[in-house]
A = this chain, B = another copy of it.
């Protein structure tokens, strides 16, 4: 007889996991802290649009809802960069016209909940988990004014960065854990649709206003609006949340630093005043599981900052890896959870690092001409040596390469690109046969140095 499964959290990962486990024949119960978002109004201002990339689509396909989501997903084929002088630049993401897809977190979550219920899962809303005994799997919830006790059999914590199951783990003996916050916070702002209902900025791009130590970004929504997010230092005398005290401060700051954006944002001052300033946490923990009793998944295991658009994609990949291990080990959950931890822990840590690195790239490096040149070179190398060279961004967003492998490729790839970019008169000689031979050797050397790493399954189209 198969075990019953309790999942904490009906967010994206908890709901997807419920779909997968229900389809495998497990009796699944989810406990969710919040009310049912399908009937309640969602608080605005803390969503950050999702960017679904290959890992996410793969999981949605497995859950059988890829087709349902495609109509509400807007492809973004590259970055549109808005410079301080009003000029713009464009960086295509992939060499084969790949895209990442802007999707409403709320719509996707609602859909996943419904599919989970259709697959047989039960969701209890308004149940806030206040305590987990990680040795006995006894759960305590606050529900309305009552305390509710639940005895879990197999337990998953899919309850996010501030997971109750993670808190239980942290107090157990010999559990390593860390949490740290960026010095930057974020605030959501809005660019509404144009009067004719169209988009006020190019629709199929992720817009960035890189300003070295801070940035504004904008992702398209299906209704013609853009959700903007300002990533900004909390503290500091000039450019910081602490420094912008009045409406006048905000207005002056935006006019000076984002003049082309500010004219598209009629509700800037209200949004800035009313939307919360939220912080950005990265967490790590080890172990990820306790025997055959429980495991952490998604943000509960590896909360990351949003700059690579990989939080949800990584959490979904946790689920698909778990599914693969169920196929392999049947219902031997001690083995499944052990192998899950062994496969995913290093990748959870790696994607956390990648996300922080991409913050620096997005807010600072993308505005640098040398960096733009490097991006063009990456694309060129990818086209010339498609079997041997895939850029880091492509590995993360358009492949199933384990994040940990991606991290291991960075240094070798940096060395290769630096080598090429240091060649004098590169543009002039790039097309010569002699340089072509040289390049072939260099790329081959790079490829040799990384080729034995685990690149995972090829990405499906």
Hey, which bits of chain A sit against chain B, CB under 8 A? 162, 170-171, 173-181, 234, 279
Report yes or no: B170 in contact with A176, Cβ–Cβ below 8 A. Answer: no
Measured CB to CB, the nearest residue on chain B to A162 is B171
Report yes or no: B177 in contact with A176, Cβ–Cβ below 8 A. Answer: no
Measured CB to CB, the nearest residue on chain B to A179 is B177
Measured CB to CB, the nearest residue on chain B to A285 is B179
Q: How far is the CA of A76 from the CA of B21 in the complex (A)?
A: 62
Q: How far is the CA of A162 from the CA of B279 in the complex (A)?
A: 25
Q: Provide 17 A-B residue pairs closer than 8 Å at the C-beta atoms, listed in order of the A residue.
A: A162-B171, A170-B179, A173-B181, A173-B279, A174-B181, A174-B234, A175-B179, A175-B181, A176-B178, A176-B179, A176-B181, A177-B177, A177-B178, A177-B179, A178-B178, A178-B179, A178-B180
Q: How far is the CA of A174 from the CA of B175 in the complex (A)?
A: 21
Chain B neighbourhood of A170, CB < 8 A: 179
Chain B neighbourhood of A181, CB < 8 A: 173-176
Q: How far is the CA of A174 from the CA of B279 in the complex (A)?
A: 7
Chain B neighbourhood of A173, CB < 8 A: 181, 279
Q: How far in angstroms is the closest Cβ of chain B from A195? A: 39
Q: How far in angstroms is the closest Cβ of chain B from A311? A: 19
Beyond A174-B234, A177-B177, A177-B179, 17 additional contacts (C-beta under 8 Å) are A162-B171, A170-B179, A173-B181, A173-B279, A174-B181, A174-B279, A175-B179, A175-B181, A176-B178, A176-B179, A176-B180, A176-B181, A177-B178, A177-B180, A178-B178, A178-B179, A178-B180
Chain B neighbourhood of A180, CB < 8 A: 176-178
